[in-house]
Structure 1
Amino acid sequence: MSKLNEIQNKIHELNGGEFQKMMDVYFSKIINGEVYSIGSVIGNNNTKTGTPDTLIKTVENKYIFIEYTVQKSNLYKKFEDDLEKCLDKSKTNIPINEIEKIICCCTGRLSTEEISKLTTKVSSYNIRLELLTIDSISFKIFDFPSIASDFLNITLDTEQILDIDDFVKAYNRGKLATTLNTALYARESEIDLIIESINRSQITILSGKPGVGKTRLALECLRRYKENNLEYEIKCLRNNGQNLYSDLKLHFSNPGKYLLFIDDVNQLTQLNLILDYLGLEEEGIDFRLIVSVREYAERKILEKISKLNNHLIKIDILQDKDIETLCKEEYDIKNHLYIERICKISKGNARLAIMACETAIRENTLESIANVTELVEEYYKGIKKDFESELENSGLLRTAAIYSFLTVVNLKDDENLILMAQLANLEKNDFLRMTEKLHSMEILDIYEGEVAKVSDQILSTYIFYLAIFDKNLLKYSELIGIYFPKLKNRIIENLNGVFSYYYQKENYELIKEEIIKVYHDLKEKSDDKLEDFLYTFWFALEVETLVYIQEDIDQLSKEEDNQINYDISKQNSNTSETLSTLSNFSQTEYYNESLELIMNYL
């Protein structure tokens, strides 16, 4: 059975209230205006008498009337009566000249003759009539997978490509996620730059530190861009690790203009699938991207898209006066002591400021927002209590930390699940039981029983901190020993995320000690991963990395036929990696040594 047939069958099963609610959501997505569900009962799926069943007031101050029915027979008579009521000002209190359109929706079919006669009844009033039967409605719902999922329980895609409002709902649904519903403060100049960039670039990149407000800023730009570019279909990608191919095909295969926002593009492993859509102009597809990327991953993303028309915009932290405005206007915090403390610990980071405001309101004590570490502890204290209240809390926390480390896990990959279970010191069945427990605690999201992911980014970082640094339940050396270099990029992402919120000398030294353990093991085995390991973890092995590169240079100088091209763009990847690693030493005490090695290498 095709998905279209399945949609039609499910629509036939809806009662009047369910049908109206589904279609009201649909119209709210395609019509720019205020929706009033006059004939719908709040809180349940019953209906009540009203004319029209739904009223939409457009931004042009015109009115759209919508009538619904799930009758299986006498549809013509039903709509004929509905039209008479809609055209009766005594029943609607709206003058006929202010009615722009009347839409009649049904779960049955009308004949050609019936459609013609109904259209004639309103033509003399200069009012457009739209008649939507089961056929046209099913086609329309097919284009909105989230509606098919919510109202018909039909899965059309992996629910990763969403409308703006659905993206915000999905984001805010995460347990203790920092809300995206706050107003935007002090970003007007950035908004102008971003909208200008969207107009002239294929890809607009928003780069900044974690928590500066890139996601919220991007969403504001999408909404404003849509206001002046109604022909563009605006979508947001919320990555859950599932394959994107069918989603992209469903949403972007038809000729049209599309703008897609990708949040944290540095965590997306299927970027190339999306970039392919940038070259389909000849097929009538105008496809543009706006992406957010964490500052530390900016260079790698720029390398991936270097041949495409892109524009990088740096998003800076907020100033203290902006944080103060957020405290006062968004959270009604007026006490100057609280505001000063929030400004001090957030250091311009919008996400930390929101977390601090919400914690301060909930706890009503200055001590609850003493510093960043204690703030995050306080914000997630309920989660910590959940772990501590479980009899098997150490196994549960270890399991959660491993999921946090890996970000996205394929639950069909038995080989990896066995490795994860071993790391958690559990049998595979016990590990899967812990996985289900984390899902029931709303810590872990599981998509169609195939992919698992911690529900919130900062929650993921906190769980990892709790297990590795606070409770010492997992050895970092064991994690990187198993997953390096296969998941090298993910390991780097994880470290940057942890140190964004928990950079303390003792935490750094613990990680460094664990990295050194793995290094010595690789060196003892003369493992061919040693070079890659040094280039990745150079910050913990500064002297060892410089010595290794020096020895490499000495070896190169002995090879008479070896010539290094001075045109760096033409050098091999190994050369680029070596020079890139040496450039990392520019802010360290080994700057002079690294500079000398660069000169020798070239």
Structure 2
Amino acid sequence: MSRIQNIETNLTSINDAAFQELCDRLIYFKYKNPSAFARIGSVTGKQKTKKGTPDSFLLMSDGEYIFTEITTNISDKDKLLKDIIACFDYKKTNISSDKVKEINLFFNFNIDNAYIEKLKSVATSFNPKTEIIFWSLDLLTSVLSTNHHDLVSDYLGLSYDTGQIVSIEKFISEYNRSSHGIATPLDNEFVQRRQEMDELKRKIAEKDFIIVTGAAGVGKTKLVLESIREFIQENKTYKSYCISYKYDSILNDIYQYVSDGDDYILFADDANRIDHFNQLIAYYQSKQFGKLKILITARDYAYSDLYLNCPAELTEVIKLKKLSDNQLIDIVKGEPFGITNPNYQDVITRISDGNPRLAVMLSRLAVEKQDISVLSDVSNLFETYFNTFIKDQKELANPINIKSLGVISFFNAINIRDKERLLEILKNFDIPYEDFLEAVQKLNSFEVVGINYDYVKISEQNLSTFFFYLAFIKNKQLSFGTLLTHYYADYMSRFSDCIIPANNTFGSEKVMDVVLPDLKKHFDTIYDDSERSYKFLSIFWFYLRSETLEYLYNEINTYSEHESINTKRMILEKKSTLSGKDQTLELLGKFYVGCPELKDAIELSFEYIEKCPFLTHKLISQFKELINFEAKDQHNNFRRQTILLKTLIDKIEKGSCSCLQVFHGIAKLFLKFKFQYVNGYKDRTIHFHTYTIPLSKKIKDIRKMIWDTLDLYFLENQDECFQVLKDYSAVGGEISKEILEYDLLFIFNIIDNHLKNEFFEHCLYVQKLIRWLQRHNIQSSKFERYRNDFINPMYDLFTKVNMYGYGHKEDYEFDDYGEFLRLKELEIRSAYIFKDQADMDSFHSMFTDIVNVHKPETIHLESLDFILEENFKRDYNIGFKFLELLAKRNDKLLFIPTRSLKQILVIEENVCLVWELIEKISFRSKPLWKISFFTEIDSALIKNEHIDMILEIFREIENLKFMSLDWAERYLNFDYELYDKILTIVTERNREPNVKIGLQIHYFEKTFKMLSKNMPLIQEAYLQQVKIDSHFDYNKNGLFRIIEMNPGFLKDYFDYFYFSDDIEFTERKADWGFIWEIEGMGPVFSEIFKRITEKNVFSGFSSHFLNNFFSNLKEDKKAKANEFLFELLKANYKDIRIVNLIVNIARYARKEIYENILLLYISLNQDPDVFGKIWWRGNGGEYNGGDISGEIEANDWKKILSIIERSEHGTNLIPIKKVIKDRIYSCLRFAESEKTNLFLDR
């Protein structure tokens, strides 16, 4: 008889009192930390029942009740109905029915669904919110066998193996024996954890409780044992023991082995499995003399419960990660393997997935066979890895175990409490329910599976893949067809998660032989449904490659390239524009990995874009992403790239314009020297790789095809082909010199055949190419000829005005940069001395053409100012005519003369002529020329009449940012109100629609003393400038001066920006602490707080903007800011919105006063409802992937509770304490669901 059957038998024969006591213990385990627990139906001090309704109850922290009714009376089935009715009878319970949250019915027999629905209906008639839990014989058996072995022993007389305190050596022996070869033996070599071991030893010395947590298989147990060994060698007073737990009380064993007065280390492996873990805590607390260190390991999804039970200040958590790929590679390339080939390393790290023993076994296999292909099927290696276990015919070889593991592996995790769903699954695979539960218990004891939160799951991902393969593929103990028929629609992603790893690890042919017939059969049933077919083929295309290509061929042929109106194509174009993806290209792209049908897939891709040319760019992007050069391509002699190029060129030769467009995109990619690619995802981490191509024969062939095609079609597509050339020599960083030298012959050929020195861009390209090649130490006899041939007047002009080079050298090639600038200026000044208007026209025309190619860079315009200045020096009339030309044709160049004006505006006559010139011509930069005029004019020639002319400039300007007014200071002697007048005009103009005149960033900081005290003008102008440019007065020195004069302006500032509906307030991280240096800010700031609460709803998330006013304060200002917050709280403690702002500031910027703020508040207001609406710990938080947010938030509330406990207001705070305890309870309940999800997702 199985253990499950034994439990069922003993439950049916248990006496009433023992059954009631068993059920009371179960319900107490389920609901931790109730406010009250009463066993009404039990006689105190005796194992005897008495009448009472309910038999027991728990009062929860939210004021609601959990009732329990217990019966063994199988003869009176209406007993359950009577119990439910009695629970809602106030005369019997003295509890209102609306407070009954849940009724747990315990009975040692089973009832049918119809009766369950009847009982639920009766309960609903009293209180629709009351939940009824039916603890039937089946459920009790499952729960007891899974989670409560001690209760099975105590109440049913069925003993489990007992545990004891053992030495490290005996623990290792028992561990290796009990693992049946599944876990990595603990007596193997210890590798790659030196850093973690040193950290753990430090923590043993510092703390008394150390929890080492991490996923299964990362080496937690081995790390702890090795660390204990070294620690004891270094600390001779300590003795060590391990707990080899066997589901019995451990307290007596501890007292027997651990003597008071000595120093001990106790190690509890997988402590979350120890039902009596609290006995360890109790013993630690009772130990009077000597030191006791308790080391614990726990799975990553289960450690938090243990942490909550340990003394927080004495506990340290160490999170152990899987061995990284780099650590595994260190093992693989070290002795005795010496595997340095990155291709081998990638495969080994992928399959081993952080498991060092698998990495070692794979390395041995690779070294033995000297062939990477052997790693494509490692099923035998996996069987060797689990060899001891597999050979145990009574255990894993039992078909029920393999079938159970196969089912679990597919579903990832199975809820064993959901009996109805579980029975449906097991029925489909012909697995008896009881046999499955017993298999799960057995596999759990071997740690092949883990059971948590009512779910069973295989402990390691690669182990799960193996058992899926074993059950569904190799042994065929489970039907893949059944899996496909019943679960494809709802579990599509699980097919990918199971099939693809099995395919990659154990060989595609083995998988295909089994799944192909079922896949074909299923595909036939959905062929006419386009959406379902695409989804199905996107998963199983690899096994249905011919079917996939045929399906896509038929789909593509429904589009017509000749029809002027094709409804389907129009729909596709719109859909493609909206989604950014095309399902046909996506599916074709799966073939680009390199399967035998690659050429067919590429040809279909080209046919598709011929009919839907709007998808050409998407196809180019897909080729760049999927047929990029990778290390694996070298092993296959670059087959993918060769097929793509040959197919593409063949299409071009047949006249395909779309394929020619694709070619130009591919050519730019394939002519690179290095390639970056992503080698998939692992542990949610993206791994980037760089691959440098070799100059192999195949690479030469590929590059030759590209260069020859460019040469052949250059005249037909000059712009695109020329761009490929330019992109090639624009490569930065390292290049391959031997590849470059190989390519150079083809490049020279294209230059000789197609580039002409009459074109400026061709000259510029060739000259730049020569310099680029020489930078890479490449020389050629052709350089001198090219350098002399590819020159024309425009290029000659470019070399003169280009401020980045002199002669054949770039600026960075000069040792003395100052000398370079001197030579460059001399060259520019001497090169362009104009004789007449024709010279000027010719120069300006070429200069404009250069700017059209290179854009009007300031560095070129600086050259223009040199030329203008030099011509003024040589011949004023020529210079003046050139200035007039630049003004008349200014719109393209946007040139503004500076130094040239400075040279000539030194005599009255020139001043008049230049001003008249600027005034008579209409051009876009005219106001800026005027500003330059008044900036450069000699001070001796400044007149009073210039003031009005200056003011007129600001009446003309439409839009200008960052305008400096430093030059205007010279004019203050003629009008000391000039800054005010300019500011007035600018402010008036900025009121106009579409006008934005922005002043220099530090304008108010620099000019405040020179401005009058017209505060309304200054304030309006300041607000305008910040609106135009959010960086204006970034350090707030100008604002400080304004507020210093008028503290109330801070309110206006906030009204204008912070509360605006249409202006983004962009200064959320600005430093506003300067306000505490200004007297009289308290009332103003209080008003701002009130305005913020009136106009903005604060959600409690993150740091509020107001924290900027309280951060980074000097010591003398901290006290002032703190006092303000205390006084604000006293005045507004009834206003929840203001209190929330104060608390937020105390949580972020003024953390040191948080406790005082909390204590002050509860001294002023003990209303629990108001207290509960304040964000004392914020709202939500930022958490890492493995964090349990519910527990973090519960701990936050516990800290808040500990602060309140120190208050002197005693019983008045009981309602507030209840609010906090309810929050703690709620957070911990939420944490349970988080831990369940973490267990399922890991």
TM-score (norm 1): 0.43
CA radius of gyration, larger in: 2
Return the structure number with greater strand share.
1
TM-score (norm 2): 0.22
